[in-house]
Structure 1
Amino acid sequence: MPRWIRPFVVLLVALGAGALLMAPMVSMEPRDLPVAVVDLDEGIETAAGQVNAGRQVAAAVQENDGDGMIEWVSLSSQTELDAALADGDVYAALVIPADFTASQAAAQQGAGEVSALRLVINEGKNPMVTSQLSGSLAALAPGAEVPVQTEYYDEVPESLGMLASFLPMVFMILTYISSYATGIVIRATFPLASTGRGRTVLVQLGLAAAAAAVVGVAASWVLSTMAPAAGLPVGDSAVFLAISSFALMTLVIGSVNWLGTAGMVVPVAMLVLGMGTADLPYEFLPAFWQDFVHPWNPLRFLADGGRALLFQGAGWWNAATPGMVITAVVGAVLVGTSVLTRRGRVRETSPDLAGVAPSEHALSGSGGR
C-alpha cells in the first residue's frame, strides 16, 4: 500500500468505528418493554351474577401499548409477579387488588373508597428505563376515578440521582480499560517464542489470574468510594470483576498470540460493538445489535452484572456471571491453544544457507575472522 494512502485508510477505519460505536444510541427506539398486568380481583356475586371490575380494567389497560413501547404480560398471582420482578423479567407491573370490585360497590353506596391500583416499578432493573416508564404508565391508568399507588422494587437511592444511570457504565469501562492494558503488558513481556511455549502460556494465564484479582479488588474499592450510597457489596463485586477481568485479559492475550498485532482488533471490536449493548437495554437496541451482538458481547454481561450488584442486591453469582464464566473459558482456551500457532517460531532456514552450521553462519557474518 502506498505510504500516502495509509492516513486515509486509518481515517476511514476510525470513522467506521465511531459510526458503529454511536449507531445504537442514535437509532435507539424503546419498544416492547415488558410490563405485567396482575389481576387479583376476586369480584363479587350480585343478583345479576358475577361482577368483576378488575377484569375490565385489565382489558382496557392492555388495549393501549403506548405506540408499541409496552408489551403487556398477563400474570395471575402475586407469586408470579414476585418471581418476574426477582428475575428481572418485567420493568413494572400494574396490580389490581383482590377487593377492587367489592370496594367499588361499597364506594357507590357511600361506604369507603375504591381500593387503589398498585403500580410497581422495578427500578433496579434499569434506572434509566424505569424513570421514563413511570410517567408513561401513570398516563395509561384507567381514569382519574381509579386511584393509583406507586411503589418501587429494588429502589435506587434517591441521593444517587443521575449517577445511577451511569454507574454500570463506569463499572464496565473501569474494568475493560484496566484489563485491556494489563493484557497487552503481559503479552508484550512474555511473548511466544520458538521454545518453551507451553511454559509461556501457563505464565500468561497465571499472571492474568493474579492481575485480574488485583483489578477486581481495586475497581470494587474505587466504585464503592465513588458512590457509597449505592451500598455496593465490595467482596462480591471483587469476585465478579476478577472473573470479568480474567475473561477480558485472556481474550486480549490469546488474540495477540494467534494473530500478532492484528489481534488487537478483537478487543477493540468488542468495545465498538458492545458499548451500546452495555449502555442500553435490549428493548432499546436496533435489530442488528439485538440479534447479533447482545447475546454474546462480554461488555453487556459486565454492565448487567454491575446493575445486579449495585441495585438488585445480587451477589457475585448473578444472572450475568455465567456469560462471563463462558467468556473466561473461551479466553483461556484461546491462550492455551496458541501454542499451536507458528507465530513466534524461528523462520525456515533460507535456501542459500541450508545445511550450513550455526558456527559457519557466524563466521560468514563476521567477515571470516
Structure 2
Amino acid sequence: MNILKNKFLWLAPIVILIVLGIFALAFYPAFNPKPKELPIAIVNKDKGTSIQDKKIDIGKKLEDKLTDSDSDTVKWKSVDSEKKAKDGLNEQKYYGMIVLEKDFSKHAMSKAQKVVMSAKQQEMKDKVKSGDIPPEKAKQMKEKMQQQGGNNDVKVEKAHVKTLVNDGANKQASQIASQVLSGVGTNINKQITQQATSMLGNQDVKVSPKDINGLTNPVKVSDSKIHEVKDHQGGGNAPFLMFMPVWMSSIIASVLLYYAFRTSNNVSIANRVKASLLQMLFAVITAFVGGFGYIYFMSGVLGFDFPHTARMALFISITILGFIALVLGSMTVLTMLVVPIFFLAMFFSIQLVMFPKEMLPKFYQDYIVSWNPFTHYATSVREILYMNQPLTLNSTTWMLIGFMIYGVVMILVATIIKKHSDKRTEIPS
C-alpha cells in the first residue's frame, strides 16, 4: 500500500511523543508543587522573667526551636525589629512574620505564678493557724519569698503574639504562611500550658476549676494581614490570569505588524526605513490601545477591582510594547520560524507565574526564575495591584526598555542590511 511509504504516516507517532514530552516538561513544576523553605520572620522582643530565682525565657526557647527546626516547608528568619520584618514583608522577602511582646514570658507564666503564690500563702496561713509554724517564722518565710520574686500581688495578664501575613505577595504562599503561623500559635499555648502545669505539679499545687481556663490559654494570638486581596481581584491570581492574554496578544500583534511590512512592496532602502518607522509607531499605538482597552474593559465591564486603574493600564501598555519589540525584532531576523519558540516560552513559564519561587523545583529556583521575563512581569503586576506600589524604573521596567531597544535595533538593521526583492512574498521585514 502506498500510504505505508508516506513519511507523514510514520512521523505522526514520533511527533506526538515529542510534543507530549515537551509539554510534560513545561508543566513539570506543577506535578508536585510542595513548598520548600518559605521564609517567615520571627521578632522576639521577650525579655524573660524570674520566678523564685529561676530565669524563664520562653521567647528565646521558642525562637531557637523555630530557627533550628528541620522543616522543609518553612525557613524561619530571626529579625531584630518589627519594622525590619514589616519592611521585609513589603519587599516580599518574607511571606509572614510573628512577633513576641517584650513581657511575653512574664505574662505567659503570670497565671501559674499567681496560683502557686496563692496556694503557698494559704498553706502558710493554715499552718500558722494550726500552730505548725510560729508567726515569726511565717513572717521570715514570707520576706524570703518576696526577695525571690514571690509576690502575691502578681497581675495576671495574657501574653500576646502578633502574626502578620502578606496576602498580596502570592496566594499559595500566603495561605501556607497563615496555616503555619496559626499552628505555631496553637502550639505555643500547648507548650506553655505544659510548662505551667509541670511547675504546679512540682510545687504540689492543686488547681481549682476556675483557674483552669487561664492556665490552658495563657497566650492571645492576634492574626492580621497586610495587602489583603479584595473581592473581584482574581482571588490573588491576577498575575497568572493576566499573563497569557498579554503575551498572546503581543505575539498576534507582532505577526500582523510583520506582515504589514512584508506586503507593502517597499524595495528601496528609503521606503523601507520609512515603513519601519511607521511600523514602530503603530507598535506603540497598538500597545497603548491594547493595554488601556484591556484594563478598562476588565474594570468597567467585568468588574475587576483595580485600585489604580490608570497605573495598571500604563504598565500593561509598556509591557505589551516591550513584548512586541522582542517578538517583532526577532522575527525580522529569524522570520516566522521564531514564533513557535515564543509559544513554548509561554507554556514553560506558566508555572513560574503561578507559584512562588519556593514551590518550584530547585533547578528552576537556581537557574530559571531570576532571568525569566515573565516572573518579573508577574511580580510587578502583583506589586501594583495588591501591594499598592507605584510604577517605577525597577528591574522589570528596565527589562522592558531593553526589549524595546533590541526590537528597534533589529528592525532597522534588518531593514537596511538584509537583501530585499521586488517580489512581494519575498520582501522580509
**Normalised-by-shorter TM-score class:** 0.7 to 0.9
- Paired residue for 2:61? 56
1:137 alignment partner, one of 181, 197, 213: 181
Structure 2 residue runs without a partner (length 5+): 1-5, 115-153, 194-218, 423-429
Does 1:36 pair with 2:41? yes
Query: Which amino acid in the other structure matches residue 317 of structure 1?
Result: T
Please report how far the alpha carbon of residue 345 of structure 1 lies from its aligned counterpart in structure 2 after TM superposition: 2.3
- Paired residue for 2:238? 167
Q: Report how many aligned residue pairs link the two structures.
A: 342
- Paired residue for 2:252? 181
Superposed CA offset, 1:254-293 (max 9, x none)? 1111101212134213202211111111111112322332
In 2: Cα distance, 1:306 partner to 1:156 partner: 13
* Residues 167, 229 of structure 2: 8 Å contact kept: yes
1:126 alignment partner, one of 139, 153, 170: 170
Please report how far the alpha carbon of residue 209 of structure 1 lies from its aligned counterpart in structure 2 after TM superposition: 1.4
Q: 1:227 to 1:79 in 2, by over 3 A?
A: farther
* Residues 42, 52 of structure 1: 8 Å contact kept: yes
Q: Percent identity?
A: 20
Please report how far the alpha carbon of residue 308 of structure 1 lies from its aligned counterpart in structure 2 after TM superposition: 1.4
Does 1:283 pair with 2:287? no
Query: Which amino acid in the other structure matches residue 157 of structure 2?
Result: E
1:299 alignment partner, one of 374, 378, 383: 374
- Paired residue for 2:342? 267
- Paired residue for 1:252? 327
Does 1:74 pair with 2:71? no
Q: Larger C-alpha radius of gyration, 1 or 2?
A: 2
Q: With structure 2 as the length reference, what TM-score do the two structures score?
A: 0.72
Query: Which amino acid in the other structure matches residue 191 of structure 1?
Result: R
* Residues 301, 323 of structure 1: 8 Å contact kept: yes
1:15 alignment partner, one of 13, 16, 20: 20
- Paired residue for 2:206? none
Please report how far the alpha carbon of residue 313 of structure 1 lies from its aligned counterpart in structure 2 after TM superposition: 1.1
In 2: Cα distance, 1:346 partner to 1:207 partner: 24
Does 1:150 pair with 2:150? no
In 1: Cα distance, 2:26 partner to 2:108 partner: 53
Please report how far the alpha carbon of residue 226 of structure 1 lies from its aligned counterpart in structure 2 after TM superposition: 6.7
- Paired residue for 1:238? 313
In 2: Cα distance, 1:261 partner to 1:16 partner: 23
* Residues 332, 410 of structure 2: 8 Å contact kept: no
Structure 1 residue runs without a partner (length 5+): 348-369
Please report how far the alpha carbon of residue 138 of structure 1 lies from its aligned counterpart in structure 2 after TM superposition: 1.9
- Paired residue for 1:329? 402
- Give the match's secondary structure for 2:242: helix
* Residues 287, 317 of structure 2: 8 Å contact kept: yes
In 1: Cα distance, 2:83 partner to 2:163 partner: 16
- Give the match's secondary structure for 2:92: coil
In 2: Cα distance, 1:118 partner to 1:229 partner: 32
Does 1:24 pair with 2:29? yes
- Paired residue for 1:88? 92
In 1: Cα distance, 2:34 partner to 2:418 partner: 45
Superposed CA offset, 1:233-264 (max 9, x none)? 11110111111111111111111111012121
Superposed CA offset, 1:208-230 (max 9, x none)? 11111112211211332477474
In 1: Cα distance, 2:332 partner to 2:57 partner: 67
Matches within 5 A, 1:151-230: 151-157=224-230, 159-160=231-232, 163-191=234-262, 194-196=267-269, 197-225=272-300, 228=303, 230=305
- Paired residue for 1:97? 101
Measured on the aligned residues, the alpha-carbon RMSD in Å equals: 2.8
In 2: Cα distance, 1:137 partner to 1:44 partner: 25
Q: 1:301 to 1:225 in 2, by over 3 A?
A: farther
Please report how far the alpha carbon of residue 6 of structure 1 lies from its aligned counterpart in structure 2 after TM superposition: 5.4
Q: 1:117 to 1:135 in 2, by over 3 A?
A: same
- Give the match's secondary structure for 1:117: strand
Q: 1:92 to 1:191 in 2, by over 3 A?
A: same
